[in-house]
Structure 1
Amino acid sequence: METKLMANIGTFKLSNGVFTGNITTLTINAKLTIKPAETGGTDKAPTHRVFLGTSTIGAAWEKTSKEDRTYYSIKIEDPSFAAPLFATLIKGDDETYSLLWPQPRPKAA
């Protein structure tokens, strides 16, 4: 299944290394914080943790695109989800960051 369409499901601001913002979907309306993770572990360890209040609900990995732009691969989990939510946090033209969810393309008939 291809994932070319992207829906903007959140907007964040970066201040002192911490992202704060909201995620909004049909079933989610939450204020999240994305903070740098404790260092250590492996190269595959998350660079950031995702928080809802004081609860850790996900992780993020800092990555670099082919165009040499930094972005964050986000994974959010909740017992109410059938599967984890995967999204990408990218910087916009201004000082805001957009949380983009890859929408699966419908299969060709």
Structure 2
Amino acid sequence: MVASPFGPRCRLHRCATEFSAAWKKTARETGREYLSVKLDDPSFPAPIYASLVDAEDGSSHNLIWSRRNGH
């Protein structure tokens, strides 16, 4: 099977359930590559959108996300 260039770079599963996918992106301002991540699970009130970026030390990564303030 050939992967689509528009499909996710990776998918995360727990047992047989997919709860996350990540797409490779490039920041317009800096040209740095990162993964755009969507975490979703029926137990979440809404999906969580995040960015997975290389850390400054070059040997790890940081997951950056924020929570909406909604009532």
Identical aligned residues as a percent: 33
**Residue correspondence of structure 1 range 24-63 to structure 2 within 5 A:** 39-41=2-4, 43-52=5-14, 55-63=17-25
Q: Contact 2:48–2:67 at 8 Å: present in 1 too? A: no
**Residue correspondence of structure 1 range 66-105 to structure 2 within 5 A:** 66=28, 67-94=30-57, 95-104=59-68
- In structure 1, stretches of 5+ residues that fail to align are 1-37
Count of aligned positions: 67
Q: TM (normalized to structure 1)? A: 0.51
- In structure 2, stretches of 5+ residues that fail to align are none
Question: What RMSD over aligned residues (CA atoms) do the two structures have, in Å?
Answer: 2.3
Instruction: Quickly say closer, same or farther: Cα 1:39–1:97, change in 2 above 3 A.
Output: farther
How much does 1:54 deviate? Answer: 6.3
Instruction: Quickly say closer, same or farther: Cα 1:98–1:51, change in 2 above 3 A.
Output: farther
